[in-house]
Structure 1
């Protein structure tokens, strides 16, 4: 049974039983505490917790998920996958345990011919929470399972909660017995390799309190609405139904594994270590493909770092399979073709995905070359020191700075006959992880407890009137101070205000929140920020400027008109530049993010090469021509499918509702999904002035522009500067580049002549300094202060010149000077002096200690410095004193 068939059977079964089919959400989670969607229930959390009223009583989905906590286990077990699909059915206060168990058993055991999954009942076991007699009874009566195949487990195994106070409840898991060849008898409690979990049913019925121990917490009472959340691992069921050994051999993954085998010339199944590497490649390439199809791009932080790590682990695994050349050009198309039936977007956006993947592979192959050179030097140094172990800090440097995988370091060190101090490396990695976790924890503590918004959201959605009105009369529905709901706030307080209606735009879609105020009888509130803490609810962060505001008071939201005007200009300018960008570079130049506020906008886009000055000018000209044409800006609300059919551009990775807002500028010339505020006609943007275009990663670039009056002011400033130059240089504006070029050439020529004069002057000082040489034992020593010099290079040249002048007899030269207000000393020795034990580095350090600084260098030439110019004579005495000793 193909994976797509299992998916289809699941959705059909639950759709036929009154469940709303909900499309998979993006892998990029809306939850600010999560990088990715890690479970099928994540998109439904607001409904399951009661934070947002559920739009349906029952739902079903096949959700794309990414988990990276077990990334090191990928390829080693039958069931660890980075990307996986979770089939789920959900009930929001509708059916509960009995019906959920009945649905699960029916779908699992109904024959394939009748639309089921066709599992033999004798192969299925279940676990239930130790005190959940109801679940055990239902399994006995509905499924007819004998008591010994219903195993009771504790909270660590069969109890679900979000890890914090809130909804919780027992769960029941369904396992498939693979047979005695896979392990010992005794059910899931005895062997989780033989007994594979395929379905988990969570019975969300309790409100839990704070944690008491590792797996214990206080139960505060029943939830007002009991919910069902179940999840069936699609890949796990697929490998069981397809008769293969693991999830890497199913139809959606195996083609990549086979391609890795073909490219490496090694046979899958011939060597256990090679098998793990091929499975890693198959998993990571598919995971990277799906992440990039949802808009994630490689970077050094957050989601982009996880993607980069997956891509680099794939390259590393291919290298360990003996392939040093680029392979993504074969591996990624194999994964695309395996996944496109279930997810057509991987094919429609493959040009962008492929460009990102191939560029990242090329960059990492260069990184590997650089890291290899550094590793080779470290190996040589280690062998020279007579030790057989590469230092752990060297391995960590390669990993942390160059992205050089530790496995590769271990392999290459072994090839050179060395081991690696793995304990020191692991200690440094642990230190880094500990710091990262502490940082992440501190950031999480800054997030408000969203449960405070539940009662407000239950009253309905906040009505946004700002598209049509700048002032809106409303009512104060709620006030929040320090994360807690309060009844009033007084002058000076910082609070959150919940209104029934608001004209103030909440930050979203790259547009900064509106500035403005909320006023009412007896109070005046300055708006500091406007956000959507939960879907459908707008919260205004305010400072009470005067008076006292209370829940239930009448209030008016007032938008700062100049701010809104500038914001609408900037947001419409973003659309104009995006359209001009695609017109100039082609459809592959796709927006990857944006930010706009009054007078300024930036646009990130997928592209790997810098834009030439001519291309930048062309984009700017197209954008300003669109302004000059006074194009109509039209906004429409329509179903998402209709908007996509019209060709409306969507931001990769952005989650959209079934009903969306489409913004047209000049009809189809610019057509995008957008909830932001915009001008009425393009001429209202005023002026676009591109001020910057730069790289923000190997595959992304950023354009920045000033807009409207800010663009004019910037150009006016440039005009004033040009005017000053034309006046000062007495040169017409159009001739300024040539005139400045001539002046620069004259300046360089003058600097060259000055340098020649200074060099000649220094050379003239050499004989006199050499004549000051005195004898200290067998050494001829020059110790002198030469006053002020322009640079340490001049001082170095002078010392070397004196050393040459003294010939082949044993000689030491120590010359000090004041360089840019600070003392500096150069010590130079010749071969004969070094043979007698005179080392320049030692002497320079002795002098620098007197000068109040540091110094060092090689035995033949060294430098020292400090802060105390008056100590130069004493520093020179320290050199001669050291030589005398």
Structure 2
């Protein structure tokens, strides 16, 4: 049965059961917390949570989805794919467990000639959440499945949520037994390769909180309505019905595997490593086709980066199969032809999709070719093993895949230091979390920068001078190479030499100008998108700049002085830290710009005020000592022998620059700009010290005039406080503490009076009690000013004064709040406070609950308080 036919049967079946057929939403999620639609129910979340009224009580869809968290598992298992289709049927307060189970069993087991999918009922298993006896009852009532083929499982396996705040609930999954040749007996608990999950019935009735883990998270309360959300993996069902071994061999994907086999001259099924690569190509090309059809384009950020990764992994896998020539046109066309029956709209967008895919393929091919040249040279210079640093440079600078590096090295009788490569990759990922570089350089593809880098390394002359003359080698506008930039445009300029410092080593980029005959450019930022290449982000303030023009760079002298002060201050504070705390207080990161510095360092505990003061004092004594600041280049072994500190997370060339302050007192490997004497720093004023993670602290300080201005402002503040408090400066702190204590005392007296005033309402409320089911029931909305604590105390006080009662009090505070107290007699009659609180909260658009004797609830709609109290009272009897 073709995949498109399974999709058609699904929609036809549920349409016949009164469901509205809803077309698939685009892959780009409208939820700002998601890049892509990752599950079939995502478009329906607003209806499930009650944020929007559902336009239908029942719906069905076949939703396009993309998940890339398990991208490294693609091709290796039977069930991991980046793009997949999720068949779903949904109920918004209409039907629940009984009907959902009945629908699923009927569609799965009905004969093909009757519109069903024809699964043998003897090969189907079910799992339920461990406490869901109700679901087990319906399985036994609605289907022919025996009890021994129903397994209970915990929250990790049978409780569904999105992983963040939103709808959640227990679920029941349906598995198909592939037979003893695929694994051990014993159902899904024994072997999920033999027993394949094909359908998940989620009984969506709760809202979960953010945080927690997959098998432990907070439940905020019940949803306004009990909903059904089911998902049947279309690809999984297709590979079972088509009699193939995995999702990559179904009719919508297998043609791509066959094409990869033909292109490479290798037989699918002969070598497992080659099979994995063919499956990766098939999966990623199809995913890229669907993403690009929905408007995603390759880029270095967000969704575009995910797409770019898919495309590049495809090229990589083709290379590993021995395919050297471009073949995206053939592969994308094959994928489109395989998918177009299910998605006719692919024809309309295909020309655009193919154009973008071919451009990406060409760009990455150039990157690979450049990387091969570098790799060939490195191999010729290696004896037994290619260094991890070289492998990382190939990956980081040229986008060269590590597994291709490994394969080529092995062909030449070499190993690769993977441990070092993996360490460098991990360090890069950590830096990337706080590094906004990708957002600053205009979003051009790596291959564009690599082409400019191939023209030569940018010579940095900024250590010796603030000005130099050079030549414009290239220009970028909106990520595209152009021949000219005109007045008012933003773009990037590449020069053969520059005096403008590019952001690196924790130091922000220089400000300044680039000028030439007939043009002036304001420099907004300078970055190194690839090693050795300076990209000047500019705004054209006058004239037009063209490729090949002579240009003069000029650094803003005040900016450079401020940056140099801040960077030298960072070295001074680092040395002070190590002097005060010990050599283990090693810098792990930094950032500095004119007037400001921050330094992250290894330390496990917060610094005391005395320690912070001591560090600040040591730093400023070093500044006052007018220590010499110098820099010199030497080999890395020489620098280490000299005692220079190499910073965690940084990689270094064989020749390094060592900056020292006061000789051996501070020696660090550093490429930044610095003052020539420590006294030029001026002043360091520590402003904060905080934690930035386990075993890491951060110290921040103002530098130079910014530090002076800050201290002057604090001095003026103290003077004003002295005047207003009519106290000498030395007594200001004591006077403020005394005033604060008086204020706290007054606030306590006010709270006591308000509580007494609230409790004084109790006798009047007692008189409003009415008899319902033999109980004294008090239900009242309070309009007087009252706090949550006072409302709770008042509810309990009324209950204390009134025997055999149920007390329900509500008030609109920041949000509507309801308190319920239920006496022992009421509880014996089955009237529990927690249940009444849930009833009232549901009307208010929220959730609630608690113990049998006392509970609290609330919501968002204060206008419905009267209706909420009425609903709770109605639930009593």
Q: TM-score range by the shorter chain?
A: 0.5 to 0.7
Is residue 828 of structure 2 the alignment partner of residue 828 of structure 1? Answer: no
Aligned residue for 1:635, secondary structure, equals strand
Contact 2:660 2:668 in 1 (8 A): yes
Q: Cα offset for 1:847? A: 3.8
Aligned residue for 1:755, secondary structure, equals helix
Aligned residue for 1:817, secondary structure, equals strand
Contact 2:277 2:318 in 1 (8 A): no
Distance 1:168 1:576 in 2: 52
Residue-by-residue CA offset, 1:323-353 (whole Å, 9 max, x unaligned): xxxxxxxxxxxxxxxxxxxxxxxxxxxxxxx
Aligned residue for 1:571, secondary structure, equals helix
Correspondence for 1:796: 792
Correspondence for 1:615: 611
Residue-by-residue CA offset, 1:391-435 (whole Å, 9 max, x unaligned): xxxxxxxxxxxxxxxxxxxxxxxxxxxxxxxxxxxxxxxxxxxxx
Correspondence for 2:576: 580
Residue-by-residue CA offset, 1:721-774 (whole Å, 9 max, x unaligned): 222322222222322333333233333333333333333333333233223323
Is residue 495 of structure 2 the alignment partner of residue 502 of structure 1? Answer: no
- Alignment CA distance shift 1:485-1:714 (3 Å): same
Correspondence for 2:555: 559
Residue-by-residue CA offset, 1:135-170 (whole Å, 9 max, x unaligned): xxxxxxxxxxxxxxxxxx99969xx99857799989
Distance 2:643 2:718 in 1: 45
Aligned residue for 2:700, secondary structure, equals strand
Distance 1:737 1:548 in 2: 61
Aligned residue for 2:719, secondary structure, equals helix
Distance 1:773 1:550 in 2: 87
Q: For 2:807, which of 809, 813, 830 is the aligned residue?
A: 813
Aligned residue for 1:548, secondary structure, equals strand
Q: Cα offset for 1:795? A: 0.6
Q: For 1:512, which of 508, 513, 517 is the aligned residue?
A: 508
Structure 2 gaps of 5+ residues are 1-70, 77-260, 266-273, 282-310, 336-357, 387-416
1:454-603 to structure 2, matched below 5 A, reads 456-603=452-599
Q: Cα offset for 1:504? A: 0.6
Contact 2:816 2:862 in 1 (8 A): yes
- Alignment CA distance shift 1:471-1:207 (3 Å): farther
- Alignment CA distance shift 1:622-1:651 (3 Å): same
Aligned residue for 1:788, secondary structure, equals coil
Distance 1:877 1:166 in 2: 66
Contact 1:166 1:208 in 2 (8 A): no
Q: TM-score by structure 2 length? A: 0.52
- Alignment CA distance shift 1:444-1:858 (3 Å): farther
Q: Cα offset for 1:592? A: 0.9
Distance 2:276 2:843 in 1: 69
Correspondence for 1:688: 684
Distance 2:369 2:694 in 1: 50
Correspondence for 1:277: none
Contact 1:529 1:540 in 2 (8 A): yes
Contact 2:509 2:525 in 1 (8 A): yes
Correspondence for 2:695: 699
Q: Cα offset for 1:573? A: 0.7
1:370-769 to structure 2, matched below 5 A, reads 448-453=444-449, 456-769=452-765
Aligned residue for 2:831, secondary structure, equals coil
Q: Cα offset for 1:649? A: 1.4
Is residue 834 of structure 2 the alignment partner of residue 838 of structure 1? Answer: no
Distance 1:843 1:167 in 2: 60
Distance 1:549 1:167 in 2: 42
Contact 1:627 1:685 in 2 (8 A): yes
Q: Cα offset for 1:506? A: 0.8
Q: Cα offset for 1:550? A: 0.7
Aligned residue for 1:735, secondary structure, equals helix
Q: Cα offset for 1:852? A: 5.6
Aligned residue for 2:534, secondary structure, equals strand
Correspondence for 2:60: none
Aligned residue for 1:575, secondary structure, equals helix
Distance 1:495 1:443 in 2: 13
Q: Cα offset for 1:516? A: 1.7
The number of residues matched between the two structures is: 522
- Alignment CA distance shift 1:493-1:210 (3 Å): farther
- Alignment CA distance shift 1:875-1:651 (3 Å): closer
Residue-by-residue CA offset, 1:202-233 (whole Å, 9 max, x unaligned): 9xx97767585599999999979977476999
- Alignment CA distance shift 1:167-1:532 (3 Å): farther
- Alignment CA distance shift 1:295-1:694 (3 Å): farther
Q: Cα offset for 1:688? A: 0.9
Correspondence for 2:774: 778
The alignment yields a C-alpha RMSD, in angstroms, of 4.7
- Alignment CA distance shift 1:450-1:799 (3 Å): closer
Distance 1:768 1:867 in 2: 28
Aligned residue for 1:675, secondary structure, equals coil
- Alignment CA distance shift 1:877-1:458 (3 Å): closer
Correspondence for 2:854: 861
Q: Cα offset for 1:636? A: 1.6
Distance 2:751 2:450 in 1: 75
Q: Cα offset for 1:695? A: 1.4
Distance 1:537 1:490 in 2: 23
Contact 1:569 1:708 in 2 (8 A): yes
Contact 2:442 2:491 in 1 (8 A): no
1:36-51 to structure 2, matched below 5 A, reads none
- Alignment CA distance shift 1:725-1:490 (3 Å): same
Contact 1:166 1:207 in 2 (8 A): no
Q: Cα offset for 1:302? A: 3.6
Distance 1:657 1:550 in 2: 34
Contact 2:595 2:704 in 1 (8 A): yes
Residue-by-residue CA offset, 1:421-460 (whole Å, 9 max, x unaligned): xxxxxxxxxxxxxxxxxxxxx9999964444345544443
Distance 1:473 1:514 in 2: 17
Distance 1:853 1:472 in 2: 66
Q: TM-score by structure 1 length? A: 0.52
